[in-house]
Structure 1
């Protein structure tokens, strides 16, 4: 049995090293797919904007986890959630414009934000008042990081965990990861969930993956594997209560 899984270059979730796909999401998929009897796993690197159209039209069988939204759920079928992670910024060291939330960036006319095309951070930024003329869209994470380095943008929005790992991996203290401060409007903070996605006609694979995920998530082996990539109980425990 062969399964092709698409992924994007976004440490610690997935990336290519020595022509091999690695990362927290890649590792989780490997364990789950092997457990349901898959003997051949093919990893397909792609761009974020191609993930949903690719799996929807059957160019591959499943995607690495991405945030679940109602619009996305209209296009693809999601697995049970596998992690819960809030947003953050990657900024230049010292955070010269003191950016610690979308709202703080929206207040500065001289601040520019980088976002990967199609990611949920675009909607989150706009909902907090960030204007379109403050936003630069990139196709690849590496392009956004280079823009932060050069000063073309002031912050790159992604997951707080991913930005923290990225800042740690880049030597020389060039960057700083900033976790977003909670909103002060009294509303309860909802941390978004991420899940694998499948074409809506691929129910057999999704059901088999879900069955294995329900028994595996939160296990000692799962926690140990995810810890190697920086995922802790903060990212794992919220999905176990669902």
Structure 2
């Protein structure tokens, strides 16, 4: 199967909905057995998970999730786009069954949801104006230079900045990546923070107006693993999902499907377990 064919087959499996989804009670295994669709929620986060102009679910997190479900024999899927900050609450409220959105596995999140085995390894990055006029390369620079930092609400970078001593009045939180980009481009902030996938993509598309700093300049502990989030009561389904994930992650089919998003073999999660990440991030 070619990459283009693989993407089109996966995309054809998705029925895209905007607006609210009626909550239906019952564990995910029961929904599948009764023929009800699996409901996927994600935010508009370039590279990771986003809708294209035809409403199809794109991004490597969506492609991986759909590929695993397809291998499990599941193609009855609905997707919903919402603000980043509404993903976990929506999952807990039974509006979605799986959250894809490129969500880093964090100890604070592990208290509220059950994550799949990791699907990717990805560090954070900083987005700055051309020439990096304030010389910002890490959180200590933001703190010491009294710079204004923007990221999106609920992102792991909020916790990271606070851990490095950045004050709340130096942190602007916005709904999503497009608002981060707009704040940096307009000069309302000195630096934006997202995953390195996102900042590199935005810098490359800015025609030299913006730059991505070196992710190696950030603390080692900001290296993160991405997972897919499930409700804790769906552990039985999650166990089956993880069994298929182990076969799919790193396969030629998967690498071909995600190549267009900049995901390479360097981003494979390796042997790191979700339990370790929950305890150490």
- The two structures have a TM-score, normalised by structure 1, of 0.91
Greater share of residues in helix: 2
Q: Distance in 2 between matches of 1:59 and 1:183?
A: 36
Match of 1:54 among 84, 87, 90: 90
Matched, 1:102 2:139: yes
Matched, 1:44 2:44: no
Match of 2:155 among 119, 125, 130: 119
Match of 1:239 among 250, 260, 270: 270
Match of 2:227 among 180, 195, 217: 195
Map of 1:6 onto structure 2: 41
Offset at residue 171 of structure 1 (A):
4.2
Match of 2:125 among 88, 92, 103: 88
Match of 2:200 among 126, 151, 164: 164
**Is the 8 Å Cα contact of residues 118 and 272 (structure 2) preserved in structure 1?**
no
**Structure 1 unmatched runs, 5+:** none
Offset at residue 197 of structure 1 (A):
0.5
2:233 alignment partner, SS class: coil
Matched, 1:180 2:211: no
Q: Deviations over 1:23-69 (max 9, x none)?
A: 11111111111111212111110111111111112111100141111
Q: Distance in 2 between matches of 1:44 and 1:212?
A: 23
Map of 2:279 onto structure 1: none
Distance 1:60 1:183, change over 3 A: closer
Q: How many residues align?
A: 236
**Is the 8 Å Cα contact of residues 88 and 159 (structure 1) preserved in structure 2?**
yes
Map of 2:249 onto structure 1: 217
2:216 alignment partner, SS class: coil
**Structure 2 unmatched runs, 5+:** 1-34, 274-281
Q: Deviations over 1:106-145 (max 9, x none)?
A: 1102x11001111110111111121112111111221121
Q: Distance in 2 between matches of 1:35 and 1:100?
A: 42
Map of 2:24 onto structure 1: none
- The two structures have a TM-score, normalised by structure 2, of 0.79
1:133 alignment partner, SS class: helix
Matched, 1:69 2:101: no
Q: Which aligned segments of 4 or more residues in structure 1 are displaced greater than 4 angstroms? A: none
Map of 1:146 onto structure 2: 182
1:202 alignment partner, SS class: helix
Distance 1:203 1:115, change over 3 A: same
1:162 alignment partner, SS class: helix
Q: CA RMSD in A?
A: 1.7
**Is the 8 Å Cα contact of residues 151 and 192 (structure 2) preserved in structure 1?**
yes
**Is the 8 Å Cα contact of residues 87 and 179 (structure 1) preserved in structure 2?**
no
Q: Deviations over 1:8-36 (max 9, x none)?
A: 11110111211222111111111111111
